[in-house]
Structure formats: structure tokens, C-alpha cells
Amino acid sequence: MAAESSFVRSAASDWNRPFFCFCAVLLFCCSSIKAAFFSSMTIEPLRVSEVYSSLARWTSVIQVIEASHLKTTYANHASRMYRRFVFADSHIRVKVSAVAFDDNVARIDGLLVPFKKYFISDAAVDEIPRPAPSDLYRFFWVINSATMIKEVFEPETPILPLFFDLTPFTSFQHFADSQISINMMGVVLHTLPVKESRPEVPSVVSRDYVVADQSNMPIILTLIHEIESGEGGSIVNAMRSTESKPVIIGIRVRVKTDNYLSLYTKVTSVVLVSPQIQEAARLERWLSILAFLYRHNCSVLMTSVLEKRYCNPFVLLPPVGDTMLCTISSVATATRFVRDPALPIFFYFFKAFFLLWNLACPYCFAPNNFIETLGISCVSCLKDLHTFPRALVKLDIADGTASISVIALGYEVEKLIGFTAYQLSQSEYEGVSLNLRVADTLDGKELLCYVKRSPEFIRVTGIRFTVVTSYLVGEASSVEK
């Protein structure tokens, strides 16, 4: 019995020996990896500007500024998945782009969250192919299997870097229709239906979101393409909760004068949903206070959505003070039209440039010569539409420094002349000319107006500027008060 017992113990020992050897090897490997990781972290951290391709080992402390969603690139008949990041030095204003491909994307899942800080070491450092200015960092990093990443523990929620400028909503007008991109932060109040281009062209999906900040100025932000399918879905999921209004940050978005004033994303834009930063938390607390004060979340902001203040010129482009006004001569002689100026002008209406109305696209105002009004797509913006008369009028304006010709379209014309586009078209059909009455109505009126460069289909007629919106001087004073 003792021999049998000894045999059993011996057999068990022999059976377990490979297992114990395997465990020992596994523990040794894990210890080696852990030792390598922490040894790399104990290297004196370098600033981003001190990391070069010639370094064999290095560590740096960075703050994540941008993190794209998963994308796919196609080259040499093969596809690769990748994510792109932008890091910044935690102390000085130096930024670096980083990218992770294929399997390395899964390795960093859950890491590199925007605005958090990380130790990062031994990423591949490659020189930017195109020449970079001598004062800029000329390398980019590739995150690979040798790259070590560890989050820097911070007792408080991260804050935005000092150089990360957020443009206030009340300053959007200064960048309208320019090539300047801005960064913005706001709370999403409402989502509008998804829009899709007609089937004959590559499908373009977009969606409008109503966003606002503490200025109580709601504005439309349009998400396009991959941003709508990715971050747009995250916004919609958050909006399904009646108690939740997500905060978003838009990076490199553009301002345009569609809908008087609105925002839109482009290919290089980045949208961050519910960023974990102190500035976003303050915006959320402000919204919570409004919800508490006005009960059931029927706050001032939600009322502005119901009233569609996001397409109200009095809200988006209000009258400005004298210090913000531009002279006509400065606009007429400008070689680059960077921003939409507000002009104090006198209207002198001499005669109509052409008819006071035409059949046009109700979205982009491009004139179209249509015979039928069913199943029509605008040749300019490709949207399906039912055309109808749109008012338009050429105006010769002066302010004592110079005179220029501008064109007013749609509702802005109707507001100025007191006739609707339908009334203008009907009067022509009945053989009644309203040109003289319109001229008498406009001649000598003193207006303050926002103007922009005319779209191409208007510039070919020789009219360089289009009225975005306007106010009678007396009306402007009352609105400003």
C-alpha cells in the first residue's frame, strides 16, 4: 500500500513537472516584459522636440489632443486599418502626429483618450516626407509592438492645453466663409433628420445638430461622411436619454453663411463626444442649473430650439457697434475676403439688374430655367427640390467712402421691398411692373448689413458681394438695446 501510494505521488509529480516548467517560463517572460516596460519608464522623459529618429530608447510625457476613429486606407491593392492621433508636449507648444496600424490598433484600445496624459516610449520615429519649416517638429511617430504606453495618474480631471483655443459662439461671424478653421465646444440640444444625396452620385450622408454654449446662441453644426456615421451615432445614442445633453468639441470646423450662420465639418475635422475635461464638466453643470431653474429641462436653450432661433438672423448675426463696422472702400479694395464685415451703408437703388424674381433652388439660390416643377434636382448643389419663385434685386450702395453693387436674395429682398416672391411673379404675369415702386421704397434707405463674397453663379454677372442679412438703422438700434 505504501509502495502504491509512493507510485501515485511519483506519477503526479512527473505529470506536473512540465506544467510547473511552463508556468516558470511564463512567469519569467512576464517579468521580463514588465521589467522592460518599467525600465523604459524610468528613463528620464524627453520633451517631444528632443525625440529624434536616431534615438535607440526614449520616453516622453505627452497629452493627447486628438484621436480619430478607426479608418481604412487603400494602397497597393491592399487595405490597412489605422487610427491617427495628435500628441502635445505637456509643457510647451509642440505637437506631433502619431499613427497605429492594423493589430496595433487593438493593442491601444482604451488608451490614448483625448486630453489625458501618458508615458509613451520607443515608438518608431520617422521624418515627415515633405519639407517642414525649420521651427516645427519634423517627425511623426508610428505606434508598433515595441511601443510602451502608460497613463499618467492625475488626481483631477484633465484641462484643455493652454494653446488649445476655443472660439466663442459670439465670434463665429468673424470666420464665416473664410479658409480659417476653428475649434468649438458646445452642448447638443437637438438632432435633425439624416440627409442623403441623390442616388445617381456617390452617397453623401450628413446630419444637422443644434448646439449652443453659455451665450444662449443656438447654431447648426453639420456632420458629414465618416464623422456622421461614427461620432454622429454616439451623439444620437446619448440624446436618447431625455436627461442627457452631450457636450462635444469640434476641431477644425468651418463657419459658413448658410442658414445665416452655421458650422460644418470637413475631411480633416475631428469631433469629440463627451470629453472628460473640466471645461466640459462646467458646461454640463451650467446646463443642469438651467434644467433645475426652468423645471423639466424646458430651459431657455430648449425654448430657443422650439422657436428655431438657430435660423434667426437677429440671434445669429445681430447688429454690431460702430467699432465693428467696415467701410465700403475697405471691402471693395480687399484682395482677400477673410471675414464677413458689417457695413453701415446707404441704399441708392437705380434700376433692376434683371427681373425682381426668378426660379431658383431654395437651398443654394442658384437660378435654374425649369419648365416643370416635379422631380427636379438642382444642378448646383444636387438636392432634390420643387422650385418656386425667389426674389432677387441688385442694389447700388454707398457710404461716403466708395460705392459697390450688391445683390440681395430671397427673404432678405422681401424684407426690404415689402413684396413676396409670389407677388412679384404674379404681377409680372398680369403685366404690372413693380420696378418703380421698389425703387421708391429702397432709394436713400440707411441700412446696416452683413455682406459676403457672391457665389460663382452670381460673380459671373459682375456682382461681387451678396447681402447675408440687413437692418434698418432705427431697427438695428432697437434690436441692440
Domain ranges of the chain: 48-151, 169-316, 322-480
Cell of 95: 505637437
Q: What was the pLDDT predicted at 91?
A: 66
Q: What was the pLDDT predicted at 373?
A: 45
CATH number attached to the domain at 169-316 = 2.40.50.140
Q: How far apart are the first and last CA of the chain?
A: 106
What sign has the CA pseudo-torsion 453, 363, 169, 96?
negative
Cell of 244: 442627457
Mean pLDDT of the chain: 76
Q: What angle do CA 207, 213, 214 make, to 5 degrees?
A: 160
> Considering the entire predicted model, what is its pTM?
0.76
Cell of 230: 461614427
Q: Would you say how long the chain is, in residues?
A: 481
Structure confidence by residue, pLDDT tens digits, 17-68: 444 444 444 344 444 444 444 444 557 888 888 888 888 889 999 999 888 8
Q: What is the DSSP letter of 356?
A: S
262-276, 317-331, 397-411, 464-478, range with greatest mean pLDDT? 262-276
Distance CA 446, CA 425 (A): 27
**Across the chain, which distance is largest between two alpha carbons, in Å?**
125
Phi, psi of 332 (to 5 degrees): -65, -30
Distance CA 203, CA 319 (A): 39
Distance CA 440, CA 436 (A): 6
In the chain, the percentage of residues whose pLDDT exceeds 90 is 16
Q: What was the pLDDT predicted at 38?
A: 45
In the chain, the percentage of residues whose pLDDT exceeds 70 is 72
Q: Which string of b and e fits 18-36 if b means at least 16 CB within 10 Å?
A: eeeeeeeeeeeeeeeeeee
180 within 8 A of 174, measured Cβ to Cβ: no
Q: What was the pLDDT predicted at 8?
A: 36
| pLDDT over 70 (residue 264) | yes
Residues 6+ away with beta carbon under 8 Å from 108:
83, 100, 143, 149
Structure confidence by residue, pLDDT tens digits, 121-175: 999 999 888 766 666 788 999 999 999 999 998 888 788 876 788 999 989 988 9
Q: Do domains 169-316 and 322-480 have the same CATH topology?
A: yes
Structure confidence by residue, pLDDT tens digits, 1-13: 444 444 333 434 4
CATH architecture of the region 322-480: Beta Barrel (2.40)
Q: What was the pLDDT predicted at 385?
A: 57
| pLDDT over 80 (residue 189) | yes
Q: What was the pLDDT predicted at 253?
A: 95
398 within 8 A of 346, measured Cβ to Cβ: yes
Q: What was the pLDDT predicted at 32?
A: 43
345 within 8 A of 447, measured Cβ to Cβ: yes
Half-sphere exposure (CA, 13 Å, Cβ side) for 353?
17
> 48-151: what CATH class?
mainly beta
Q: Which string of b and e fits 332-354 if b means at least 16 CB within 10 Å?
A: eeeeeeebbbbbbbbbebeebbe
pLDDT band at 354 (very low <50, low <70, confident <90, very high): very low
The residue with greater pLDDT, 332 or 296, is: 332
Classified as helix, coil or strand, 435 is: helix
| pLDDT over 80 (residue 15) | no
The number of angstroms, rounded, from the C-alpha of 66 to the middle of its chain's C-alpha atoms is 13
Q: What was the pLDDT predicted at 22?
A: 40
Neighbours of 400 (CB within 10 A): 11
Classified as helix, coil or strand, 197 is: coil
457 within 8 A of 366, measured Cβ to Cβ: yes
Cell of 48: 517631444
Lowest mean pLDDT: which of 86-100, 122-136, 338-352, 385-399?
338-352
Lowest mean pLDDT: which of 55-69, 96-110, 157-171, 257-271?
157-171
Q: What was the pLDDT predicted at 209?
A: 94
Q: What was the pLDDT predicted at 334?
A: 64
Q: Which residues pair with 357 in a beta bridge?
A: 391
Q: What angle do CA 69, 71, 73 make, to 5 degrees?
A: 160
Distance CA 83, CA 358 (A): 49
